[in-house]
Amino acid sequence: MKNRAAGSAEALRDREPRAFRATAYYRRSRWRHRRERAFSYDVLRSDGTVDQDIDLVKVMYRGSAADFAVTEAGMMEHTPETGTGPWIADSYGMPVDGPDWIQFMAEEREKHARAKAVVAVRATRVTEEHRTLILRRIVPRTYLAFDVRYADGTVRHDVNLDAELKGARYPADLQATERGARAAIGVWADYPYGRPLRADGSPDR
């Protein structure tokens, strides 16, 4: 059963939306026989396949509302008055180059595979001695250090969080995780939601 579930999860990852495009056209309105501008949408998935004439809300009903808004705004900006616009990167809102971009993203995901294995982030306060040259004295300075925990249980301490999570699926995921870790100093926060975790690894809320 576990293997079947793992296979299903892998299949879903292979079918993740990577880019969307809109086609604009005019149709007759039901009000006073006027014409109105309408759109149909296609989605380019991570396995390179294209699904046409999709329900945009259903396909994009995941992640954060901000990612949805950015993607939709990108399509509206780059779609001509009538006709098909370019592919717009999911959650980034910028034009991309179709299948070539899919290959590029595959290489990026491989390069940053460690980020996909991150399951939790922890912020800790660290105090170090800071020598001020002007006053010629040593003063303590406190800063936040971030630890990350991977799915295999390994932990890396004092990491560059932006670099560690560079492969994040959505930019909002990184922000939510960091915000959760900062709000609960010393407690693990789950990635990508930023919820504090109990000792057994379950969400605290």
Task: Give me the amino acid identity at 185.
Answer: I
Q: What is the mean pLDDT of the chain?
A: 75
Length of the chain: 205
Per the model's pLDDT, the better-predicted residue between 188 and 48 turns out to be: 188
Q: How confident is the model at residue 139 (pLDDT cuts 50, 70, 90)?
A: low
Show the DSSP H helices in the chain as ranges: 2-14, 56-59, 65-78, 99-111, 113-116, 161-164, 171-183
Buried b / exposed e over 93-112, threshold 16 CB at 10 Å, is bebbeeeebbeebeeeeeee
Across 38-62, average pLDDT = 86
- The count of other CB atoms within 10 Å of the CB of residue 45 is 17
Given this model, what pLDDT does residue 3 score? 45
38: pLDDT strictly greater than 80? yes
Domain residues of the chain, as ranges? 13-108, 117-190
168: pLDDT strictly greater than 50? yes
Q: Is the dihedral of CA 162, 163, 164, 168 positive or negative?
A: positive
Question: Considering the entire predicted model, what is its pTM?
Answer: 0.47
Across 60-87, average pLDDT = 83
Across 93-112, average pLDDT = 66
Tens digits of residue pLDDT in 104-115 = 665 665 555 555
CB 28 within 8 A of CB 13: no
Across 171-179, average pLDDT = 79
CB 17 within 8 A of CB 44: yes
Residue pointed to by tokens 């604009």: 24
140: pLDDT strictly greater than 70? no
Given this model, what pLDDT does residue 106 score? 59
